[in-house]
Structure 1
């Protein structure tokens, strides 16, 4: 565990906001396969490194990136629609949670407000979390909504709204993210950020305030236990 993690996990937030894809739910693999199928629909191949570029993006942004990456801007709408169609087909299978996600959420539930801030469509997030038995633990679920001027990550909007709905200032909330796109969004919103998963190459991991390999990391479980019993107010 790094010094950064020690500093972060010695702190008690007043709310926790989770990303969904790749953080709570193992659905990034579905997005990756859906991108491959959408490219194949039009006889195209993704360029090298495309999966890393697409990680954490809103599906509409990803559709535009897909079209740009193969120099076919005229296919933006078609590739976007195909991407979402294939993903929805794949994600209807039994959802798989990320290691430690269920235990961590259940242990945090009732101790402080919990929210989800995701770039996925609401129907996908709600359906995945409900089938995994996690939906009821979250007081708020925030996704991009053009009507309410909530832009997707890496814009800060979903995290800023989630913190507001939880009734806490952004600097008193912790974001839990697996992608640098999400880390950037949370930081821009003013939240502290815990990165989860394989550490990014280069200085990417330093963009988060701390980084752990998975949600079942022992230091996270110890951190939650320090909050006391469900219903107790966390330390300020």
Structure 2
């Protein structure tokens, strides 16, 4: 890892993952996955939670159906997964430690965006319940033209809407799937979570246990506030952002 690439640097934009990074919702996805499998009489195999973490919810539904040996149940399981997840988020919209503080501090010196594999309305609902939605100028999610993580598309879209080159953009992520996406977009990556594996460590510039870590708080507080607090219109961005080189 090269921590100085983040802690001695002011990014032109910051793009956050949502589940498990900003919001304490990864456990809700896990609970929802387990509940769906149990409802169909199946139990998750060892390592299932790690394989499912960070996937687009439709891919997760397909994975559950495959795990159960019932690919014909993919659509049903996917629908139930999203329903159970939204019920749990509504009951407990909690932010991750340090997430609110980093968002508020970061918004003073860089435009902020979210890149998520969740449906946009789910992300907006989570952030609105946590009183953070207004801090973000754009939310990038998969659609008919934007592939989900681990493809780089959502991160490239977020950077473009912030008027920033991906090489000048910081991504904040907690999952291997998301870290792959940000790294493929050419961004510097701050990974967050308790137990990084070598595959994660090899792709991030800095790994922190929580966003409340003292060096992260100090870094955010030391940045110079920007004079024009807005995200640019994507049409104003010049240059080819499709295949950026990681800087």
Q: Structure 1 length as normaliser, TM-score? A: 0.93
- Please say which of residues 158-167 and 66-75 is displaced more in the overlay: 66-75
1:200 aligns with 196
2:238 aligns with none
2:151 aligns with 155
Deviation at 1:201, TM superposition (A): 2.5
2:173 aligns with 177
2:209 aligns with 213
Please tell me whether the aligned partners of residues 179 and 200 of structure 2 are also in contact (alpha carbons under 8 angstroms). no
The unaligned stretches of length 5 or more in structure 2 are: 230-247
Deviation at 1:230, TM superposition (A): 5.4
1:62 aligns with 60
2:23 aligns with 25
Deviation at 1:71, TM superposition (A): 1.8
Aligned mates of 1:26, 1:124 — CA distance in 2: 14
- Please say which of residues 179-188 and 201-210 is displaced more in the overlay: 201-210
Please tell me whether the aligned partners of residues 111 and 232 of structure 1 are also in contact (alpha carbons under 8 angstroms). no
2:91 aligns with 93
Q: Deviations over 1:118-149 (max 9, x none)?
A: 11111111011111111111111111112xx1
Please tell me whether the aligned partners of residues 57 and 78 of structure 2 are also in contact (alpha carbons under 8 angstroms). yes
Please tell me whether the aligned partners of residues 116 and 140 of structure 1 are also in contact (alpha carbons under 8 angstroms). yes
1:50 aligns with 48
1:132 aligns with 130
The unaligned stretches of length 5 or more in structure 1 are: none
1:228 aligns with 2:230: no
Please tell me whether the aligned partners of residues 116 and 140 of structure 2 are also in contact (alpha carbons under 8 angstroms). yes
Deviation at 1:78, TM superposition (A): 1.3
| Dislocated runs of 4+, deviation >3 Å | 229-233
SS of corresponding position for 2:19: coil
- In the alignment, which of 186, 189, 198 is matched to residue 185 of structure 2? 189
Q: Structure 2 length as normaliser, TM-score? A: 0.89
